[in-house]
Amino acid sequence: MAFLRTVLLLGLLTGMFLAVGYALGGIAGMSAALIFAGLMNFFAYWHSDRIVLAMYGAKPLSDSEIEAMVEKLAKEARIPVPKLFIAELRVPNAFATGRNPEHAAICVTRGLVELLERDEIEAVLSHEIAHIKNRDTLVSTLAATLGGAISYLAQIAWFSLFGEDEREAIFLLPLLVLAPLAATIIQLAISRGREFLADRTGAMLCKKPLSLASALRKISGIAEANPLRGNFATSHLWIVNPFSSDSFAKLFSTHPPVEERIKKLEELAEKL
């Protein structure tokens, strides 16, 4: 199933690149776009995790306590221990990336390490381990890389409209539909149900559903007060959407409401 989703995602996004090429340069432009899309798909499959980590300036994390948490959770999940990275962002958050459990990484922010309690950090890590165990990371990371590129083209087209005459501007109009279309494709490829599943799986791994609920509540509250600036197409990667809810990022929302996630975790805690 994951393989079919990956092929579908790559195929649809490649088709959008071809449409851009044809709009800008006819058959010659489409041919150039085909070559570019082929190279980008190949590079994205093998290196999309590095691209996403680079977007946030993530560096390897050396923290014995957090490393011990990840090793324990990975052992519990029966997956290889993922690499650890840290992004120097003051807001607490985290994401997992990588094409498979053998090539996975978890990135936490400086805010997560400094502002959350130890049991909450472990619970967040368990959520990300769950994404790796459930093999969500390949499609998510490819979507972030390719969807981000397409949304960037759309924004260029938007700003270019103001500097073109009416006849030339007409050729840029098709590009303006790319961002919402890319967002729709990402939403179709990445089910919101994967977040509920990762919450449940993670809570079972660390046996601390209420700690995860508490972490989600804190991360969400801080994110609303201090939204990030960045590539909106990466919003689905984070445990909580870090971008402003009234921004362009809303198009790419693949997270269920935090209140619903917390409610399900509290219900799970009552059963354990």
Residue 106 contacts residue 128 (beta carbons within 8 Å) = yes
Compute the chain's Rg from CA coordinates.
19
CA dist 157 and 260 (Å) reads 37
Return the sign of the alpha-carbon dihedral for residues 241, 238, 147, 8: negative
- The helix-helix angle for 209-225 and 118-133 (nearest 10°) equals 100
Residue 249 contacts residue 161 (beta carbons within 8 Å) = no
Q: Of these residues, 114, 128, 166, 195, which one is catalytic?
A: 128
Helix boundaries (H) for the chain: 2-55, 64-77, 110-115, 118-133, 137-160, 166-172, 178-189, 193-206, 209-225, 258-271
Burial class of residue 209 in the structure, from the number of CB atoms within 10 Å of its CB (0-12 exposed, 13-18 middle, 19+ buried) = buried
Residues present in the chain in total: 272
Task: Quote the tokens at residue 59.
Answer: 């560096």
> Cα separations (Å) of 104 from 9, 38, 107, 184?
20, 24, 10, 26
Known catalytic residue at 128: yes
Q: Which residues are catalytic?
A: 128
